Amino acid sequence: MCGICGVLYRDPERPVEQALLERLNATLNHRGPDSAGFLVQGALGMAMRRLAIIDVRGGHQPVFNEDGTIALVFNGEIYNFQELREALRTCGHRFASDSDTEVIVHAYEEWGDAMLLRLKGMFAVALWDGRRRRLLLARDRMGEKPLYWHDSDHGLVWGSEAKAVLAAPWVERRIDPVALHHYLSLQYTPDPLTIYADIKQLPAAHKLVVEDGKPPRIERWWQLQFEPKEELSDADAIEQARALLTAAVERQLISEVPLGAFLSGGIDSSIIVALMAERTREPVRTFSIGFVERHFSEVGYARQLAERYGTHHYEFIFRPEDLVRVIEGVAAAADEPFADPAALPLYELARQTSQHVTVALSGDGGDETLAGYRRYLLDGWLRPYAALPNWITQQAIPGMAAMIPEPAWLPEDRNPITGLKRLGHFASVTHKASLVRWGSYFNHAEKLALYHERWREEPGARDSAAWLAAAYDAAQARSQLDRTLAADHATYLAGDLLPKTDRMTMAHSIEARAPFLDVDWVTWTAQLPRRYKIRGGTTKWLLKAAFGATLPPAIAARGKQGFGVPISHWLRNDLCTWARERLLGNPALDEWFQPMAVQTLFEDHCAGRANHGKKLWALLMFGLWAEQRMQGGVHA
């Protein structure tokens, strides 16, 4: 695991300065505290910071082919590198190390860009083909490892985090109004946008190529396919599920440094730990975090699983007195405004975990591959609702719900009042957007009412629900459930869950791995019929059928809880004074939003008249990010 960065000047006669590379690379020290590597070849410069995990002694970067004409820096892990190395050796390639990184160079030499399709793992690569003066940047299929870039008259700059790109002196810090507009609804900035007007994200499963002095060319190199459907008996499906997930876990156990697992107490991480425990000689080291607020804490379930498998279990409690320290750390680590409150406990969990292991497996991706969220059930439930008259769906039900206070002490996914209020959204947008926008917070009208008048025209008609609907339309799938799953892969998974895991863990030099995102598992589950994902009102049916017997009954039988965070409660109590100081009179917020509108949101929330916790949190994290990065909120 590493951080990578680089520069390719447009002028082939302009040499890259070593000092510039060092400046970019220094911003990524946390991603790779073990060593640094640099390459300068005229107008091309690449650098990296290394977190040594595989071939600790010999796996230094950059790596080269036999004659030194192809060079690579790489962030991630290739889990099938040993198989690929043997195949390449039979083709005559010679290796100087035992690292997975070197395999990529020889794979490119043998198969060109098509080598990406042979890689099983998580990765962001920067490869320089000196003979062709060709630069290849590429990201893994699901988007586990990030890559940012900027192109201008100077040339191309790239890095694992936006802060590395910003270290180039010609890259300006300007806010993109469209990205901000989407952030307020989604709690993240969707690719290819970033909050910075002059920096883009390379989307998952895409590559960027620069050659012959031409502008960057971006192409998709892989697409998740949901068809054709694989028809199986229940027994065969259960057998294959066990085999594929077991193989994924076994691949991801490779490490020369201490390894453990994040254990939430939910079914996904519990299954991963169970499979790890069955395949390791020493007790698995497991790490859990909970809250003082018992409605949000799952540590009791995690403890049950740890006891069943005899893990070496570490349990931490997130306490209110830690809040401000962790919030400021999250804002710095996220690099952009990021308003998923689950980043807070994950940041603290990673900090504590880093004192014991360097690699941690997680349950990320289980819900997106086998339809684990409750909202995946909505396609059946909403048909009769959508048939009701508009005066019921748009006036009566939302109106009655608006008069009922939402309890801030209860997680949103278990809060019936929150769900009742959100029903009003479903008749106001297309059905396809309804399912994927369940987690949006400010709707289009609310955002326009919040902006200063001079900014209302900036986003124009860029409704975030329409953006989500476009992701639904682009899905290579037929059924409504499959289209929704595909849209979630492209939006929520790629934009929220995976960046959250990457930034919060790498802030503490922890490599997080996700067996549920193994390419064999992802492609197989995508082509399963609906009945293996949802059956009889049960989500993730196949996962529970295949592995339920390996879990304590209380875990196997429980529904989806999610990593709920009592942010609404904190804003009314422990964070009230801190939030007031940062929301009211904040120059970054006042630049974009009407102060009285922000104040009204805050006062209504604190008085219990409404639950605006998630909305206020989005504003707070934007303001805190701007204080740290923008010195007052410069706009595009």
In tens, the pLDDT along 324-345 reads 999 999 999 999 999 999 999 9
Confidence of residue 564 (pLDDT cuts 50, 70, 90): confident
Least Cα distance to 401 among 414, 388, 415 occurs for 415
- Please provide residue 258's backbone torsions phi and psi, each rounded to the nearest 5 degrees: -55, 140
pLDDT in tens, 573-612: 999 999 999 999 999 999 999 999 999 999 999 999 999 9
Write down the H helix ranges in 130-215.
Answer: 162-166, 177-186
The CATH number given to 2-220 is: 3.60.20.10
Write down the H helix ranges in 112-176.
Answer: 162-166
Helix (DSSP H) and strand (DSSP E) numbers for the chain? 29, 19
pLDDT of residue 202: 99
**Domain-wise residue ranges, the chain:** 2-220
- Report for 19-28, 288-297, 584-593: range of highest mean pLDDT: 19-28
Report pTM: 0.93
CA 349 to chain centre: 17
pLDDT of residue 468: 85
Alpha carbons 64 and 303: distance in angstroms, whole number: 47
Active site residues: 2
- Least confident span in 58-62, 550-554, 578-582: 58-62
| Residue corresponding to tokens 């977190």 | 51
From residue 51, alpha-carbon distances to 54, 163, 164, 352, 361 in Å are 9, 19, 17, 18, 16
Whether 22 has a pLDDT exceeding 90, the answer reads yes
What's the alpha-carbon Rg for the chain, to the nearest Å? 24
Structural tokens at position 5: 């960065």
Give the contacts of 356 (CB within 8 A, at least 6 positions apart).
Answer: 258, 260, 285, 287, 314
Alpha carbons 379 and 397: distance in angstroms, whole number: 19
Structural tokens at position 399: 């109106």
Confidence of residue 453 (pLDDT cuts 50, 70, 90): confident
Alpha carbons 306 and 123: distance in angstroms, whole number: 31
Least Cα distance to 298 among 414, 467, 464, 155 occurs for 414
pLDDT of residue 411: 54
Share of the chain above pLDDT 70, in %: 87
Whether 480 has a pLDDT exceeding 90, the answer reads no
Least Cα distance to 403 among 386, 422, 417, 389 occurs for 417
Note whether 323 and 295 are within 8 A (CB): no
Q: In what order do the strands lie in the sheet with 312-318?
A: 312-318, 285-291, 259-262, 359-361, 511-513
pLDDT of residue 634: 41
Note whether 503 and 334 are within 8 A (CB): yes
Note whether 579 and 620 are within 8 A (CB): yes
Binding residues for ATP: 289, 362-363
Note whether 340 and 187 are within 8 A (CB): yes
Whether 381 has a pLDDT exceeding 80, the answer reads no
Q: What is the mean pLDDT of residues 60-76?
A: 94
Alpha carbons 258 and 491: distance in angstroms, whole number: 33
pLDDT in tens, 215-230: 999 999 999 999 999 8
Note whether 497 and 364 are within 8 A (CB): yes
Binding residues for L-glutamine: 100
- Give the chain's largest Cα–Cα span: 73
Give the contacts of 67 (CB within 8 A, at least 6 positions apart).
Answer: none
Write down the H helix ranges in 427-479.
Answer: 431-436, 444-450, 453-456, 464-473
Q: Can you state the percent helix, strand and coil of the chain, rounding each to 5?
A: 45, 15, 35
Q: What does the mean pLDDT of the chain come to?
A: 90
Q: What is the DSSP string of 29-76?
A: GGG-BSEEEEEEETTEEEEEEE---SSTTT--SSEE-TTS-EEEEEEE
